[in-house]
């Protein structure tokens, strides 16, 4: 039986305002909670069904509180949750600037508003071993439950820097750092020999890069259509994936 | 004012069962409805706000019925719809087998259950100019409103074949047709010189390819991680995008 106070606290974390106020977020479902326990993140509360609880016992984490599937489903945001739910401390952000590692590629997102897209991009950063993802002020909250779920465990492995003034940050980078972005008028990525160092900036789903950010690009990249292809654009995570594969194929 | 009978009909099309019974589906929002009118699809009903209606007038389509934003939002599945909604005839499917065009690449989806992913893959097929997308029996309905929206107009340009017994169809293809699928143990796509001909099969979000389908692959493809990358897998649309870029970069 989950206490009323805890239930109220958990439900408050569906909202960004309370996630920020409490510096905490939810991780839901079997797979994500197992990924969580393999990460270095600090767990505040761990709830699981009696059937799933034995998989979660660990001296590093608070004891598992038992809950029914109905309780987990009612407390969380998933359509059904038959396994587990955790309340997790938001990790402290390290300062952004000194952490841009030399010779590595950082992903930056400009107004990516859909939490599912943001999570998919986070997962992609995890696949390519990127040192982090920089988020502009109007991006979705990375700790939105949908973003956490779509990240498939990247939330515990790849740092994010949220609410960054992207144009100002890009301007502050040392000269010589490559700043890349997708552009229909850009250079064909198949003809370049890209190296994974610098910053790859992806724009919003509906409006692309904001003008202030676009002005900071040092190179515009174009993904070629197939012959006869007619779609006007690609999904933002899909574009980022193709670009990252083109960066890393030469490394 | 939308009649009660039409409102009931439109709302029934939120459900797959009624979309199938009526061989019709919904297209919602400004961008998708404009794409629709540029396609060859047959429109049954066209509803729009007084402000948006003038953009839709065309002798080829039924006259626009005016509706308020509230009405459109209540009738449809979008969170808000301030522009237009259409009821569209599902296009007749041509027989699948004789249409596998020689020297072209077809995308096949095996149990891709999420309509958003399915729509994003459809859009990707449109970007690469693929001749069509083959869907296994347990895929999401391509005419689910979320799939239609995520396809970004591909619903009007790229044919789909739904409810196909994928293993049987792959077995029926002439010998010599390449059947490709993603596999962590497959050949590194960066080392191959892939040509866009044959069938690329993508598996379900959670279980990959079903064994019957996997048994029909003639080549397994592996997308390399970046150095230090730790994600176990990639989103299905993201994987398909990277593979398609690798197929078309040599063409």
Q: Give the pLDDT confidence of B145-166 residue by residue, as tens digits.
A: 999 999 999 999 999 999 999 9
Answer yes or no: are the C-beta atoms of A132 and A161 closer than 8 Å. yes
Residues of chain A positioned with their CB less than 8 A from the CB of B190: 249
- Between A66-75, A118-127, B56-65, the lowest mean confidence (pLDDT) is in B56-65
**Of the spans A52-66, A234-248, B204-218, which averages the highest pLDDT?**
A234-248
For chain A, percent of residues with pLDDT exceeding 90: 86
Residues of chain B positioned with their CB less than 8 A from the CB of A116: 116
Closest chain A residue by Cα to residue B248: A226
- Between A28-42, A90-104, B33-47, the lowest mean confidence (pLDDT) is in A90-104
Q: Could you tell me the pLDDT band of residue A100, with boundaries at 50, 70 and 90?
A: confident
pLDDT digits (tens, 9 = 90+) for A112-161: 999 999 999 999 999 999 999 999 999 999 999 999 999 999 999 999 99
pLDDT digits (tens, 9 = 90+) for B4-23: 999 999 999 999 999 999 99
Q: Which DSSP symbol is given to A145?
A: H
**Number of cross-chain residue pairs from A and B with Cβ atoms under 8 Å apart:** 114
The answer for residues whose C-beta is within 8 angstroms of residue A148's C-beta and 6 or more apart is A25, A26, A27, A28, A32, A119, A142, A155
Mean pLDDT of B108-133: 97
Query: pLDDT at residue A174 above 90?
Result: no
Predicted pLDDT at B174? 87
Q: Could you tell me the pLDDT band of residue B206, with boundaries at 50, 70 and 90?
A: confident
Query: Do A127 and B196 count as a contact with CB atoms less than 8 A apart?
Result: no
Q: Which residue among A129, A227, A228 sits closest to B227, beta carbon to beta carbon?
A: A129
Query: Do A227 and B129 count as a contact with CB atoms less than 8 A apart?
Result: yes
pLDDT digits (tens, 9 = 90+) for A8-44: 999 999 999 999 999 999 999 999 999 999 999 999 9
Predicted pLDDT at A98? 60
Which of B106, B118, B146, B234 should be substituted to probe chain A, the one whose Cβ sees the most A Cβ atoms within 10 Å? B234
Burial B144-178 (b: 16+ CB within 10 A, else e): bbbbbbbbbbbbbbbbbbbebebbebbeebeeeeb
Query: Of A204, A183, A200, which is closest to residue A248 (Cα–Cα)?
Result: A200
Q: Where does chain B have alpha helices with state H?
A: 4-12, 16-22, 30-37, 69-75, 115-127, 145-150, 166-172, 211-214, 236-248
Q: Which residue among B150, B153, B235 sits closest to A123, beta carbon to beta carbon?
A: B235
Q: Which residue among A124, A128, A228 sits closest to B129, beta carbon to beta carbon?
A: A228
Mean pLDDT of A77-101: 87
State the Cα–Cα distance between residues A43 and A60, nearest whole angstrom: 9
- Among chain B, residues having any CB pair with chain A shorter than 8 Å are 116, 120, 123-124, 126-130, 150, 152-154, 157, 190, 196, 223-235, 237-239, 241-242, 244-246, 248-249, 251
Q: Give how far B3 is from chain A: nearest CA, Å.
A: 33
Predicted pLDDT at B99? 61
All domains of chain B in start order, with CATH: 4-89 (3.30.1330.30), 97-248 (3.40.1280.10)
Q: Which DSSP symbol is given to B224?
A: P
Query: Do A124 and B231 count as a contact with CB atoms less than 8 A apart?
Result: yes
Answer yes or no: are the C-beta atoms of B192 and B178 closer than 8 Å. no
Query: pLDDT at residue A102 above 80?
Result: no
CB neighbourhood size of A219 (10 A): 14
Q: Could you tell me the pLDDT band of residue B207, with boundaries at 50, 70 and 90?
A: confident
Beta strands at B64-66 and B105-109: parallel, antiparallel or unpaired: unpaired
**What six digits make up the tokens of B158?**
């790229």
Greatest Cα pair distance, chain B, in angstroms, is 61
Q: Which residue among A157, A227, A234 sits closest to B124, beta carbon to beta carbon?
A: A234
* Three-state secondary structure call for residue B21: helix
Predicted pLDDT at B98? 61
Predicted pLDDT at B185? 87
The answer for residues whose C-beta is within 8 angstroms of residue A40's C-beta and 6 or more apart is A156
Query: Of A182, A198, A209, A192, which is closest to residue A246 (Cα–Cα)?
Result: A192
């Amino acid at each position: 039986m989950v206490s009323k106070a805890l239930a109220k606290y958990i439900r408050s974390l569906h909202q960004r305002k309370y996630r920020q106020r409490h510096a905490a977020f939810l991780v839901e479902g079997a797979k994500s909670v197992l990924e969580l326990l393999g990460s270095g993140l600090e767990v505040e509360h761990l709830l699981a069904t009696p059937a799933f609880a034995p998989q979660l016992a660990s001296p590093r984490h608070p004891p598992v509180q038992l809950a029914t599937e109905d309780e987990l489903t009612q407390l969380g945001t998933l359509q059904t949750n038959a396994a587990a739910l955790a309340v997790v401390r938001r990790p402290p952000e390290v300062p952004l600037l000194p952490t841009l590692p030399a010779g590595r590629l950082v992903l930056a997102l400009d107004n990516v508003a859909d939490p599912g897209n943001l999570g998919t991009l986070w997962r992609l950063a995890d696949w390519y071993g990127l040192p982090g993802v920089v988020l502009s002020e109007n991006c979705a909250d990375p700790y939105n439950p949908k973003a956490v779920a779509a990240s498939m465990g990247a939330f515990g492995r790849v740092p994010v820097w949220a609410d960054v003034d992207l144009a100002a940050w890009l301007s502050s980078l040392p000269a010589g750092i490559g700043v890349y972005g997708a552009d229909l008028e850009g250079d064909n990525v198949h003809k370049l020999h890209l190296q994974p160092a610098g910053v790859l900036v992806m724009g919003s789903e509906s409006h692309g890069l904001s003008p202030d950010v676009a002005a900071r690009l040092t190179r515009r990249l174009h993904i070629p259509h197939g012959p006869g292809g007619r779609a006007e654009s690609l999904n933002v995570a899909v574009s980022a994936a193709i670009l990252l594969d083109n960066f890393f194929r030469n490394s």
